[in-house]
Amino acid sequence: MFAYTDHGKTLQPARALENYRLALHLEYSQSARLPDSAFTLAEAFDEVPAAKAQTAGVEWAAFPRAALATNAEIDASRFQLQDEYVEWAVDKANGRIQRISFTTEFLAYYEALARVGSDELIAAIKAVIPTAQPQVSELFGPGFVTASATENARAGRFRAFAQQNPWINGKKGVICLAHKSSTLSALFRLVDVAAIPNPKVQPGAICTTLAGNCVPERNSDPNIAAAVQSLARNDRSLTLADPVGIEVASLAGIWRVGGHIIDINDREANAGLWKVTRGGRRAELTVPADLLLDDVPIGSGAQVAAALRVKASIVSAANVDLPDWARVGQERSQRLADIATGGAL
């Protein structure tokens, strides 16, 4: 099984890392065996000369384009409206915004910890939010006894209770995504089906042909699908880059503090106001009273999301440069099956 990277370096003990790598392996294997798709296993690129492989970041705006709502409504309706693989929570004091926390981290990461036990999950949350003091009942719901539960039961309960979990829903913190469309599996299904060449439509319109796997009204889905379709049509095989996930790319706009322009994306120059951590999966904006975005005070998280760009990274290479077993049309090759099945045992 491919040694997928722990982007947050919080999958402790080792069994949690094994759980997460297995979850990723199953997603990669399912996608690699989709007939006619240019998606292949990450292992294939171990056999491609580095000079012949390319990594490209597909970017989009974090603001939920499909949300027909005010900024305040978008902030307050996270699990209904924040659907661009980016979610955020706004912390206020005395009616004024103090901090906005963004996450692009998948629930599956923390589910791998929940499988091991509540202590391991709590330790990881504390690593993300140092002041956190999570209670077992907050993570799994009242009355659930984690010590006597099976791994599957713990994982299922943690997943089912996610939107009530105050360390996910923003009441006490926001450690990961919880919108029903912002899942690890959704990202894989979008990329693998978009990687089936379809010359009947332009790449920019491919999203409309992918049924429930791609939502044309979003910023994320059409951009990802078009980029992947373009690679597939150019006879390139591809995979989601390791570490898998959505990264915070940059904040656009003119930012001022005390009337002075600052480079908000430069941690040396922004006085710690904008911090991106966990391999780009988490970002926090500290909001002093005199912080302005395009000469407007910060009034909502959605306002900042409109300036935020995020990305997914795709690795590709010419189909002829991949090993025979990984090329388009070889989805049923014995070698691919051996890797996919052997890693899942």
Per-residue pLDDT of the chain (345 residues; tens, 9 = 90+): 899 999 999 998 899 999 999 999 999 999 999 999 999 999 999 999 999 999 999 999 999 999 999 999 999 999 999 999 999 999 999 999 999 999 999 999 999 999 999 999 999 999 999 999 999 999 999 999 999 999 999 999 999 999 999 999 999 999 999 999 999 999 999 999 999 999 999 999 999 999 999 999 999 999 999 999 999 999 999 999 999 999 999 999 999 999 999 999 999 999 999 999 999 999 999 999 999 999 999 999 999 999 999 999 999 999 999 999 999 998 988 989 998 887 443
- List the end-to-end C-alpha distance of the chain, in Å, as a whole number: 10
pLDDT at residue 13 in the model: 85
Q: Are 167 and 134 in contact (CB under 8 A)?
A: yes
- Looking at residue 119, its pLDDT comes to 96
Contact 173, 166 (CB under 8 A): yes
The pLDDT assigned to 340 comes to: 84
If DSSP states are collapsed to H, E and C, what string results for the chain?
CCCCCCCCCCCCCHHHHHHHHHHHHHHHHHHHCCCCCCECCHHHHHHCCHHHEEEEEEEEECCCCCCCCCHHHHHHCHHHHCCCCCEEEEEEECCEEEEEEEECCCHHHHHHHHHHCHHHHHHHHHHHCCCCCCCHHHHHCCCCCCCCCCHHHHHHHHHHCHHHCCCCCCCCCCCCCCCCCCCHHHHHHHHHHHCCCCCCCCHHHHHHHCHHHCCCCCCHHHHHHHHHHHHHHCCEEEEECCCCCEEEEEECCCEEECCEEECCCCCCCCCCCEEEEHHHCEEEEECCCCEEECCEECCCHHHHHCCEEEEEEEEEEEHHHCCHHHCCCCCCCHHHHHHHHHHHC
Residue closest to 240 by CA, chosen among 253, 252, 231, 251: 231
Closest alpha carbon to 317 in 309, 326, 308: 326
